[in-house]
Chain A
Amino acid sequence: MEGSVRGSIVARIGRSLTAAIVLGASLVAGVAIAIVAGPAQIANAVVTGGMWALMSVGLALVFGVMNIPHFAHGESFMIGAYVSYFVFTPVHEYLKDNPNKFLSTVAPFAGILAAALVGFVLGAVIEKLIFYPLRRRTRAQWVMNAFLLTVGISFIFTNGATLVLGPNFRGIPRYWDVEPLQFLGMRIAVDRVVTFAIAVITLAAFWFFLRRTRTGRAIRAVSQDEVGAQMVGINLNFVHTLTFSLATSMAAMSGACLLFMFQAYPTVGLKPLYFSWYVVMLVGLGNVAGAMVGGFIVALLQMATQQFVGIAWEDVVPTIMMILVLLLAPSGIFGSEVKGVQEQ
């Protein structure tokens, strides 16, 4: 007993030490970027960070609650981008001929909201059509089967989009045609400010939902003990579908928010998928709280690479970092709240 207690304390300090090192390094990277490239680059990192956080929270949740290593998460991002594009562009065209201040302020929100809604419905459909039947058939080899299914889904969506919409880029230069904001001597596009605000508000609301509401508590209960959850009367099917819907919705939302940076094309989801996996690996699989912080850390790392190593290395350096994380702290820098795969 004594030994195990001491062991866990040492483990905890060891873990927080890694966390401290990574957080400290990110801080140094942030300051360095600010000095060399100016604060505008920091603003960039923060905006992307918020979106990575939004993506990774969904990824962490889907793994924690349903034990699905979700590799079609990028396609939710892609669909969100397309939905927002197809909702926003016609309105935008119409506004060119009939200027209307109110409408041009609201139109982007309509696009983003539509993306979130479509994501929510799509998530429910995918869960009911694909994962629910698999769960009913067998739980054996679940993680592997689920992984293969998500890869298949990704394949179908990417190629489906190419087939129907073509491989062209569809994009917008910006959501809001207004002067950039002046802030601490730098100019920041309104799009970035609003995007960041959306990320923060959504994450905060989601955090509140998980911690303080009955349904949110049920989602956490399922991630901690599936049998226990059933014993207290929680309907697993409901929680699984809701979780998948929320995750898909958040990914679609980040795709919509970043439309002005990424554009919409069939394989646009690949990079967000990789980066959100990096986040989830960095903070520990299934760790939702960690994913919120991790999104910003990874975005900073990305930006630091662009600044100091060169833009071509943007994918290489984070990958090397992930290899190091897997070697040195395989359960992530914050450890994981979820008991994980071996439980199944």
Chain B
Amino acid sequence: MLEVRGLNAGYDFLQVLWDVSLHVSEGEFVALLGPNGAGKTTTLRTIAGLIPPMSGEVFFRGEAIGHLPAYRISRMGISYISESLNLFTNMSVQENLLLGAYAVQDKRKELESLDFVFGLFPRLAERRHQLAGTLSGGERKMLAIARGMMSNPRLLLVDEPSLGLAPNLVQNVFAALQELRQRGVTILLVEQNVNATLEITDRGYVLEQGRIVLEGQSSDLRENEHVRSAYLGL
């Protein structure tokens, strides 16, 4: 479904990604792991079209999307949920969600998606008229994920959903991702919480200093000596 081939990318004169290749198949739940500053976020931002690649190509369902603007990529069915969430803080929860369905022209589909995400996150339904900026950290994460779901995406790129959350909320967010996956959404997840991530994902990539150094089934990665010592502290 998604294929990244020989991607080099970065900011101005600073190259962050070096020859990164990865793929995600339909229905898969894939993790992208690595230490701070390895380039995980840059990878997602490049796929989402917020940074133009220096070289290499990104294919989505067979189409090259490397040089399309972000809004076109979003409309093709890739939803990016960023680390900083990028919510519209001075708008209500419901307005944020309706904007998530901006590209959906069909009013009926829009309402269906609204029901779907309110079913997934009942807390958001309770707070639908509250301003997004007044939500708690966990609720904001839920809102960002819910907004990303409103366009009915085929592929979800999720950046560090557990960052800054209390442990019980992290479990909520992970449960929500698993639920989405069961409903057939393909997910590429970036996380620092390696243990929990490898438990719920099918496959994983390890990115270090802008290069993919390891890839494999999540269960195999958990047994891998390098992963155990560097990320799991075992």
A residues contacting B by CB (< 8 A) are 214, 217-218, 220-221, 224-225, 227-236, 337
User: Which residues 71-116 in B have Cβ within 8 Å of A in the complex?
Assistant: 71, 74-75, 79-80, 82, 85-91, 95, 98-100, 102-103
Q: In the assembled complex, which residues on chain B have CB atoms less than 8 Å from the CB atom of A235? A: 69, 71
Q: Are B71 and A230 touching (Cβ within 8 A)?
A: yes
**Pair A231/B70 contact, Cβ less than 8 Å:** yes
Would you list 17 pairs from A and B whose C-beta atoms are within 8 A, ordered by A residue? Answer: A214-B98, A217-B95, A220-B88, A220-B90, A225-B88, A227-B50, A228-B82, A230-B50, A230-B70, A231-B74, A231-B86, A232-B99, A233-B102, A233-B151, A234-B102, A235-B69, A337-B90
Q: How far is the CA of A214 from the CA of B104 in the complex (A)?
A: 11
Contacts of A234 in B (CB 8 A): 71, 99, 102
Task: List the A side residues contacting B86 at CB < 8 Å.
Answer: 225, 227-228, 231
Question: What 1/0 mask marks residues of chain B from 149 to 174 whose CB sits below 8 Å from any chain A CB?
Answer: 01100000000000000000000000
**A227 and B50 alpha carbons, distance in the complex (Å):** 8
A225 engages B102 (CB within 8 Å): no
When chains A and B are docked, how far (Å) is the Cα of A228 from the Cα of B83? Answer: 11
What 5 additional pairs, Cβ within 8 angstroms, besides A225-B87, A227-B82, A232-B74?
A: A217-B102, A224-B88, A224-B91, A232-B99, A232-B150
Minimum CB distance partner of B101 in chain A: A232
Indicate the size class of the contact surface on chain B: 20 to 34
Q: A233, B88: Cβ atoms under 8 Å?
A: no
**Are the C-beta atoms of B71 and A236 separated by less than 8 Å?**
yes
Q: Could you say which residues of chain B place their CB within 8 Å of the CB of A225?
A: 86-89
B141 at the interface (CB under 8 A from A): no
The CA of A227 and the CA of B44, in the complex, are separated in Å by 14
Name the residue among B69, B86, B148, B151 with the largest chain A CB count within 10 angstroms: B86
A234 to B101, CA, bound (A): 10
Q: Are B89 and A224 in contact (CB under 8 A)?
A: yes
**CA distance in complex: A225, B85 (Å):** 10
By beta carbon, the residue of chain A nearest B157 is A231
Q: Provide the residues of chain A in CB contact with B87, threshold 8 Å.
A: 225, 228
A236 to B49 alpha-carbon distance, docked (Å): 13
Bound CA span A234–B69, Å: 10
Whether, in the assembled complex, B147 has its beta carbon less than 8 Å from a beta carbon of chain A, the answer is yes
CB distance from B132 to the nearest CB of A (A): 9
Closest to B85 in A: A228
Q: Which B positions have Cβ atoms within 8 angstroms of A?
A: 48-50, 69-71, 74-75, 79-80, 82, 85-91, 95, 98-100, 102-103, 147-148, 150-151
Contact B90 A231 (CB under 8 A): no
Choice from A218, A220, A227, A232 contacting B151 with Cβ under 8 Å: A232
Name the residue in A231, A233, A236 with the highest tally of chain B Cβ atoms < 10 Å from its Cβ: A231
Give the CA-CA distance A225 to B49 in the complex, in Å.
16
Q: Given A227-B50, A227-B82, do A232 and B102 touch, yes or no (CB 8 Å)? A: yes
Chain A proximity of B113: nearest CB distance (Å): 12
- B82:A230 contact, CB within 8 angstroms: no
**Docked complex Cα distance between A277 and B82 (Å):** 36
Q: A224-B89, A227-B50 are in contact. Are A233 and B71 (CB under 8 A)?
A: yes
In the complex, what distance in Å separates the CA atom of A233 from the CA atom of B100? 8
Q: Which residues on the B side are within 8 Å of A218 (C-beta)?
A: 99, 102
CB-CB < 8 A to A224: which residues of B?
A: 88-91
Q: Which residues of A have CB within 8 Å of B102?
A: 214, 217-218, 221, 232-234
A316–chain B nearest beta-carbon distance, Å: 36
**Residue in chain A with minimal CB distance to B74:** A233
Q: Are A232 and B147 in contact (CB under 8 A)?
A: yes
In the complex, what residues of A have CB within 8 A of residue B98's CB?
214, 217
> Which residues of the other chain, A, contact B91 by a CB distance below 8 angstroms?
217, 220-221, 224
B residues near A231, Cβ cutoff 8 Å: 48, 50, 70, 74, 79-80, 82, 86, 148
B89 to chain A, nearest CB (A): 6
Which of B71, B90, B103 counts the most chain A CB atoms within 10 A?
B71
What separation, in Å, do the CA atoms of A235 and B49 have in the docked complex? Answer: 13
Name the distance in Å between B176's Cβ and chain A's nearest Cβ.
Answer: 18
